[in-house]
Structure 1
């Protein structure tokens, strides 16, 4: 019996056995390396989508039998095709504002202080005398405790608000403080700090929850609806270009709720990034205030469910708490920092326990910003209370601890017992990261520094997902974070310093970037892997990523996305849209050069020839 006959016979059996092959496909994908993120079929060679769903995945090329004369065939050769990346920690609106709407200082972190001052000055000079100067990304290395008088002079007396590169602290001009009603008598919320000058007036810097509860969360009001939508569209465009198809907005809304920008775009079919909204908890710690906050969260969740938004693209079932502040300065630690300070957590522990119990009983998932080891311990106490009071924590709704800078075996054991998931920022394993060098390294003892960001503890014992917390980090491309996590070194630095700790494997990286993160969003049944019946969120890459990891892991960050499909719709194409970078510049190619063909991917609309079998 010939090999050709054997292949045809097996294909015939497959055709008869699978109802999926009874319909025609809009697009058929072929590759030697389709990474499915499905443990039962880790690798496939063909896949077909119809409408917004995957209708066929096979270990041979039989899915292309679904092609007719209207089907697009994407033959990637040996290049990887995989599920779209799921980013479980993105500040979408502010990320889009940073890159498309407001003053972006992240790209000047390597400049001199004088150069950054001139950038701000030039930007302000282009505005009217009463227009707000809104920006983000200044470095502590440039402005450690900047004053309102300094900013007044730089921006020409305009109202100005500039967040630092953690987004947890803000620099305010005199007119900005006045507009917000902040003077020396203002009382920051618990976990917030407002340095005062000798006259008892604000210096001009609001720190942690003092900033998060004012400028950070309210600045959207300074933009029109059109500008808000422009920012979110820009964020989606940038993230699609690096392969991201779904994101968790990690600080959604203002105190009154500002989720409407997502609702507006989703209702118009213009939200090219699936979203789970993590709504910030702004309760004031009183029984009345906390009850009102809970009702507000329920109202916002119900409003989204009742809106015209497609719930495949927009959900809001997560509540976000900033339990403590940024590492090396405001994270709640068991011991004081080297400078003698020891900031506390941002909530009363007893009150927090009751809040967690109330919210989890109402079906919400909890997402906790926890950096310090004491913050992790106290948060686990509160979660254990919620688990043992009333109904136990649900297995169907994951609760998430994000950051997890200072983990211990005891903490991991308690998290695993409660079914809590870990959410990691992979770029922190880079020992040359500027914030680590400028702030963290000088304020923690070596024995603490050597045990930071132990990602392997999380991946060994918990469900887990990834997301860089952009724009609090200049890193937003998942491929950059992946390389750092697999080397614990700076990108492209084989001889560079290594962060202590065990690197992650490529399989762990793939899981945390796809199915693991989808599960953290409560959407593992719908996205995160290439399986029949799931949504067709697919990316086509410019190389075989497994071969890249084996041949030279230090060039993993150079991986590029050639195409991104969201629900079967092509939302990014490198030929059509250009190679991604922070400025979204167009690529420089020779005339007529097809980038996908140059990288070994053939895309046609010709029906597959059955005779080829």
Structure 2
């Protein structure tokens, strides 16, 4: 017998996102689940005396956004605590912003922020940062989150001097005279982050503010389920506490980390997997292990099949390199699968993507189709490897925000050949081959907020938001429905949550959003203008644009 609904929504234009392509005008919700989907006339008959009726006046409704790749800790911290430097600022404006921020801080507080990587990459900024900060330590993260710019006070806190050896997998950049410049590549960034974390006086309060802010921002942009792409122990404890208090407004699939992170110190590997087993609920899941296979092309640390262009500093690596060999990667995957986890593999280059596929092929021979494997971020995939995603049942974890409006595309053009760049993000080929394409923001990489509508638009147009004369590999455009499915049902399935979320169907959690415009009734170059009017998680409103 159908339960009397707590809520019915009528007079809507419902994109259900289900596999059958069903459309509807209304649905009913009871005890946090969808109990009926159909016409307004059918659904309104189910109302009881206590049922709330929401008439949305023909507005478009769709499943809550499922973001398959996000960094809640980094994004929430940036929004809640850190200095945000506009991407167009030059060195002088950056220093002015730092000086103004420093004037509002206590004497022992660090200046932490983010900026566009090219602004300081080839500029001697160490002395300028020292002056602007007034003696306070400075840590500035680049837009890939893989590199840092620091000042002398931070280098001192790190214990790094001109003659200090570089950490494994990282570089403390030096000038021709061997003096530190304050630029940190890859794993050298971890030393700065460790020093900063050690300076925090009330970490529990900071973590709570960080993740509460992250959830609030996600809800504002329509996100109801996310796959946290690199989850450390403090994040798990904070999310669990918020959940226990009824204050978690987001469903989170966590990914513990296989090896030490650039951005956050703490336990990793088997120890973190063991600790993570105590966490789990309807809203907090721990189902993946994150493996970083390489760096990023912009610093020539992604593993490419062809050499990088002979411009700038290549750090002695003409094609980049992988952080694992095949045997080591298979061993890492075995460890995760033996713990009952799926694996999310960061592979920014076509060389690392091939290695990931080779390792997964071995895992499929051993374990069949059961384990879930993601490869992120699908920037570059050799044409011969595209079909292997479908053949091996690998999720293509796509990050369309990396095209625009960031300057990452220009950075890529300075590193890889025009021919390689033309083939970037081959999403059409992946979809046509039968692969599952699941989309994620990678927030806060590239964008300051987890805005899915920018990603959806660029997947469809392959242009800058609002349209542009130049498109990025336009043959790889997806349809609007394909893009929406990549942000809903396919992302949910990729997280192993497809039976619970990702579409508006009877028996699934009542996670849905109300939009300001019907995406199917506008020029696709206006999708980025979409606002979320309301976000519902398990039938309860967690965001209202009017309040």
TM-score, scaled relative to structure 2: 0.91
Q: In the alignment, does 2:525 pair up with 1:554?
A: yes
Q: Distance in 2 between matches of 1:529 and 1:100?
A: 31
Aligned partner of 1:127 in structure 2 is: 105
Contact 2:146–2:296 under 8 Å retained in 1: yes
Q: Distance in 1 between matches of 2:359 and 2:130?
A: 44
Q: Distance in 2 between matches of 1:218 and 1:359?
A: 30
Aligned partner of 2:264 in structure 1 is: none
Q: Cα 1:383–1:116, aligned 2, differ >3 Å: closer, same or farther?
A: same
Q: In the alignment, does 2:442 pair up with 1:463?
A: no
In the TM superposition, what whole-angstrom CA distance separates every residue of 1:589-609 from its partner, at most 9, and x where no partner exists? xxxxxxxxxxxxxxxxxxxxx
**Cα distance, 1:187 vs. partner?**
4.6
Q: In the alignment, does 2:480 pair up with 1:506?
A: yes
Q: Cα 1:181–1:572, aligned 2, differ >3 Å: closer, same or farther?
A: same
- Match for residue 293 of structure 2 among 323, 334, 347: 323
Q: In the alignment, does 2:307 pair up with 1:336?
A: yes
Aligned partner of 2:229 in structure 1 is: 250
Q: Cα 1:214–1:165, aligned 2, differ >3 Å: closer, same or farther?
A: same
Q: In the alignment, does 2:12 pair up with 1:35?
A: no
Contact 2:403–2:409 under 8 Å retained in 1: no
Aligned partner of 1:445 in structure 2 is: 417
Q: In the alignment, does 2:161 pair up with 1:183?
A: yes
Aligned partner of 1:574 in structure 2 is: 545
**Cα distance, 1:513 vs. partner?**
0.8
In the TM superposition, what whole-angstrom CA distance separates every residue of 1:280-327 from its partner, at most 9, and x where no partner exists? 21179xxxxxxx95431331321214xxxxx11111121111211112
Aligned partner of 1:594 in structure 2 is: none
Q: Distance in 1 between matches of 2:231 and 2:195?
A: 11
- Match for residue 184 of structure 2 among 194, 199, 206: 206
Residue correspondence of structure 1 range 31-430 to structure 2 within 5 A: 31-40=11-20, 42-59=22-39, 61-105=41-85, 108-144=86-122, 147-184=125-162, 186-197=164-175, 200=178, 202-211=180-189, 213-216=190-193, 219=196, 222=200, 224-253=203-232, 258-282=235-259, 294-305=269-280, 311-328=281-298, 329-339=300-310, 341-388=318-365, 391-395=366-370, 397-430=371-404
**Which sections of structure 1, spanning at least 5 residues, go unmatched?**
1-18, 285-291, 306-310, 577-613
Q: Higher mean Cα deviation, 81-90 or 124-133?
A: 124-133
**Cα distance, 1:559 vs. partner?**
1.2
The structure with the larger Rg is 1
Q: Distance in 2 between matches of 1:66 and 1:231?
A: 41
Provide the secondary structure at the position in 1 that maps to 2:297. coil
Q: Cα 1:145–1:465, aligned 2, differ >3 Å: closer, same or farther?
A: farther
Q: Distance in 1 between matches of 2:111 and 2:406?
A: 28
Contact 1:191–1:345 under 8 Å retained in 2: no
Contact 1:146–1:205 under 8 Å retained in 2: no
In the TM superposition, what whole-angstrom CA distance separates every residue of 1:418-477 from its partner, at most 9, and x where no partner exists? 2110111112344x641222x211222211111111111222321121112111111621
Provide the secondary structure at the position in 2 that maps to 1:522. coil
Q: Cα 1:260–1:441, aligned 2, differ >3 Å: closer, same or farther?
A: same
Contact 1:479–1:559 under 8 Å retained in 2: yes
Contact 1:138–1:162 under 8 Å retained in 2: no
In the TM superposition, what whole-angstrom CA distance separates every residue of 1:497-540 from its partner, at most 9, and x where no partner exists? 11123211011011101011111111111111111111111111
Provide the secondary structure at the position in 2 that maps to 1:140. helix
Q: Higher mean Cα deviation, 55-64 or 122-131?
A: 55-64
Q: Higher mean Cα deviation, 200-209 or 363-372?
A: 200-209
Contact 2:389–2:430 under 8 Å retained in 1: no
Q: Cα 1:81–1:416, aligned 2, differ >3 Å: closer, same or farther?
A: same
Q: Cα 1:283–1:348, aligned 2, differ >3 Å: closer, same or farther?
A: farther
Q: Cα 1:393–1:473, aligned 2, differ >3 Å: closer, same or farther?
A: farther
Q: Distance in 1 between matches of 2:541 and 2:395?
A: 32
**Cα RMSD between the aligned structures?**
2.2
Contact 2:65–2:488 under 8 Å retained in 1: yes
Contact 2:27–2:38 under 8 Å retained in 1: yes
Q: Cα 1:342–1:555, aligned 2, differ >3 Å: closer, same or farther?
A: same
Q: Distance in 2 between matches of 1:196 and 1:172?
A: 13
Q: Cα 1:267–1:207, aligned 2, differ >3 Å: closer, same or farther?
A: same
Q: Cα 1:366–1:216, aligned 2, differ >3 Å: closer, same or farther?
A: farther
**Cα distance, 1:496 vs. partner?**
2.3
Q: Higher mean Cα deviation, 356-365 or 61-70?
A: 61-70
Q: Distance in 2 between matches of 1:188 and 1:259?
A: 31
Q: Higher mean Cα deviation, 530-539 or 37-46?
A: 37-46
**Cα distance, 1:95 vs. partner?**
0.6
Contact 1:220–1:228 under 8 Å retained in 2: no
Q: In the alignment, does 2:406 pair up with 1:436?
A: no
**Which sections of structure 2, spanning at least 5 residues, go unmatched?**
262-266
Provide the secondary structure at the position in 2 that maps to 1:343. coil
Q: Cα 1:257–1:540, aligned 2, differ >3 Å: closer, same or farther?
A: closer
Contact 1:428–1:453 under 8 Å retained in 2: no
Q: Distance in 1 between matches of 2:194 and 2:506?
A: 40
Q: Higher mean Cα deviation, 294-303 or 244-253?
A: 294-303
Provide the secondary structure at the position in 1 that maps to 2:156. helix
Contact 2:402–2:408 under 8 Å retained in 1: no
**Cα distance, 1:71 vs. partner?**
2.1
Q: Distance in 2 between matches of 1:198 and 1:144?
A: 13
Contact 1:137–1:472 under 8 Å retained in 2: no
In the TM superposition, what whole-angstrom CA distance separates every residue of 1:43-72 from its partner, at most 9, and x where no partner exists? 112101112211111245312222233322
Aligned partner of 1:582 in structure 2 is: none
**Cα distance, 1:330 vs. partner?**
2.0
Aligned partner of 1:518 in structure 2 is: 492
Aligned partner of 2:4 in structure 1 is: 24
